[in-house]
A = this chain, B = another copy of it.
């Protein structure tokens, strides 16, 4: 049986792109993987780990006969990367991305691929960690994880099916929604929590007694702020790309904090407990559902 893809080009061979390549290789879904990236050191790691078979460039030799190109770079770099690869893509090359926001990536694709937009399939794998780089890549990263596919009106059904089959081969579960719906949902469940965690750590580390404060921080603080250890460059891009939805979420959240503040100030223990009770139950129910999903696999 021939592999699903003869030639995959990964632009940005970090945790996300590298794990995609490893998962497809393990599934026997790809014959050859070529990596393009900014960092020669990262590309060397990727070659040594067998993530990519060789190092390429944004040129015809690398791209013209590629079946699939994955853009796995911070969303702020998408426009430049698309412009760089656009002149060299083959007629059958399908391009997809793994960006954490979708509206900006789609706008960049409309600029860069005006004639071949049917071959572009926006997507976002819901995976990652505070780790990054090809050394952290693993074939298991996407097992049981969701991948959001956000096809455009112009995206060809065949191109979309190719990208979906790749993510299914990685063990992921697929969800389909518009780029706008994607960006609203992830502003709520991902971008806002990251902003809040960064804000708390920044607030603490600017204080005169920061050392003392961090010294007494325990496991609750550790988990709450884990995502503040994420890549500043990646998250600067995400926050800026999705700032419209993110600011709306932030304003709702600050209003909720105002409600809590008023209850605290009034010493309204009953109202406070009702709120905590509802949140605690929702959080526990969600954790149970998550475990059920993960146990169920695929």
Contacts and interface: CB of A to CB of B under 8 A. Distances in A.
Contacts of A280: 198, 201, 228-232
14 contacts: A145-B218, A185-B213, A190-B220, A199-B253, A201-B280, A203-B253, A210-B282, A222-B290, A223-B227, A224-B227, A228-B283, A243-B267, A247-B265, A250-B260
Interface string A207-243: 0001011101111111111111111110110011001
A101 to B, nearest CB: 13
A231 B202 CA distance: 28
Chain A residues touching B, range = 35 or more
- Give this chain's copy count: 2
Interface of A: 76, 126-129, 145-146, 148, 175, 185-186, 188-190, 192-206, 210, 212-214, 216-233, 235-236, 239-240, 243, 246-247, 250-254, 256-257, 260-261, 264-265, 267, 269, 272-273, 275-280, 282-284, 286-287, 289-290
A116 to B, nearest CB: 30
A190 to B, nearest CB: 6
Contacts of A76: 269
A199 B287 contact: no
Contacts of A231: 280
Contacts of A246: 264
A220 B198 CA distance: 12
Contact of A276 (B128, B175, B232, B269): B232
Given A199-B257, A224-B197, A246-B264, A218 B190 contact: yes
Given A243-B267, A247-B265, A277-B232, A217 B257 contact: no
Given A253-B199, A254-B257, A265-B247, A279 B220 contact: no
A221 B129 CA distance: 12
A198 B236 contact: no
Nearest to A148: B216
A269 B76 CA distance: 10
Counting chain B CB atoms within 10 Å of each CB, the highest count among A145, A190, A283 belongs to A283
A250 B148 CA distance: 35
A275 B189 contact: no
B216 A287 contact: no
Given A188-B204, A199-B279, A236-B273, 17 more contacts: A186-B216, A188-B213, A189-B214, A195-B257, A196-B196, A198-B275, A202-B278, A214-B289, A217-B286, A224-B227, A226-B283, A229-B287, A232-B273, A232-B277, A232-B280, A235-B276, A250-B257
